[in-house]
Amino acid sequence: MAESLINSIARLRVLEKGLLTRETVGRLKSAKSFEECLRILGESGWGTPEPDTDEIDSLTDARLRDTYALMDELMPKRYKKLVEVFRMRHDLTNIKLLYKLRLRGVSADAAPLDRCGAVDGETLKKAVARGDYSMLPKRMEKELEALDVDTYRGADPARVSYRLDSAFIEYAAGSGFAFAKQYFGALADFTNILGLVRGVGADMLLPCGELDAAKLQKLKAALAASPEKAGETIKGPLESGALLEAARAAVEDYAKTGRVSAIENARDEYLLALASERKSDIDSPAPIVGFMLAREREAEVVRLILTAKRSGMDSRAADERSVALYG
């Protein structure tokens, strides 16, 4: 593990050159076959799949393992928790799946877990099965213990997700890192906007965002009464701020097109932009985390493209997900 942030950032400048460019992603999407995609990835430094494995899993899993190994090398010890905070996003996905399976009395043995978390999937399976959450952050541990009590006689899956999401956002935003507070506060805001569009009640909005309850209530009323004016409730003519501008544009796009994906894409672009705009910092761990997020996005886009090529389907999902590559 590095001790000098400046040295790590210098090394990161070299590593960033190995990120997939938009042009390379375009070549992958226009490739004539699955095999051609594998060749392009090999030429781009992704290597080749391991023998007797699923090619897609082999390539993306190896890329992610390499990414997290680099995080261990690059991130100075005093910032190690920041990497764990961001990787805990994936643990949260796994925890919600495992917890809901347990509530339904369904075995988690074959559960398709996200491999990007800070906690090993098998460890999480055993933890949720036993109700022992001691390896998780205290805020998450307490919420899960409370859920064990509250769901003893039955549970609403949506409410379970909301409570776990809220606990995680509070943990992440309150972790003591300015970048994490900014990132997860914005994630809460966009998640709340998506929730209102999808009809989520005011009692299930996430904490820690910039958009307060009053503004969100105005947005909810506007979406019901006059969607074309809903963006004005987020950012008025005398208000400023990148998040407010991005959120307003997303809501206006949704009002015109009816596509929820407009808000999802705006969220992804904004969150990656938060990391990208800090690339030049030499006294902050944000560029290192940004590189990790970019690598994770690469793996997601590559998986979507390869899956589409192998199945003979179009890559429309990859088109949307690859809009906001780390630039």
Q: Are residues 121 and 171 in the same domain?
A: yes
Question: What CATH number is attached to the domain comprising 154?
Answer: 1.20.1690
| CATH code: domain of residue 308 | 1.10.132.50
Q: What is the pTM of this model?
A: 0.89
Domain annotation covers residue 326: no
- If asked whether residues 147 and 169 sit together in one domain, one would say yes
**pLDDT score, position 327:** 40
Q: Is residue 154 part of a domain?
A: yes
* Residue written as token pair 């799949």: 49
Mean pLDDT by 10 residues, the chain (327 residues): 83 93 92 95 93 92 95 94 96 96 93 92 95 96 96 89 98 96 97 94 92 92 91 88 94 94 92 82 88 92 92 68 49
Note whether residue 327 is domain-resident.
no
The residue whose two tokens read 């393992």 is 65
Angle at 231 between CA 226 and CA 237, to 5 degrees: 120
The answer to whether residues 85 and 67 belong to one domain is: no
Q: Do 86 and 51 share a structural domain?
A: no
Number of structural domains, the chain?
3
Task: Look at phi and psi of residue 158 and say left if phi exceeds 0, alpha if psi is from -120 to 50, else beta.
Answer: alpha
Whether residue 11 lies inside any domain: the answer is yes
SS3 helix, strand, coil % of the chain, rounded to 5? Answer: 70, 0, 30
Report d(CA 27, CA 301) in Å as an integer: 13
Cβ neighbours around 153 below 10 Å, total:
5
Residues 298 and 314 in one domain: yes
Residue 166: name the closest of 155, 177, 176, 174 by CA.
Answer: 174
Q: What is the pLDDT of residue 135?
A: 94
Note the pLDDT of residue 202: 84
The domain boundary, picked from 154, 176, 198, lies at 176
Nearest to 279 by CA among 290, 270, 271, 269: 290
Give the pLDDT score at 73.
94
Q: In terms of domains, do 106 and 145 share one?
A: yes
Say if residue 267 is in the same domain as residue 205: yes
Residue 224 is assigned to a structural domain of this protein: yes
What is the distance between the alpha carbons of residues 295 and 59, in angstroms, rounded to a whole number?
13
Q: Does residue 229 sit in the same domain as residue 165?
A: no
Q: What pLDDT is attached to residue 275? A: 80
Looking at 134, 152, 176, which one is the last position of a domain? Answer: 176
**How far is 15 from 165, CA to CA, in rounded Å?**
33
Domain encompassing residue 310: 5-76+285-321
Q: Which amino acid, residue 217?
A: Q
202, part of any domain: yes
CA atoms within 13 A on the CB side of 314: 4
The pLDDT of residue 311 is 87
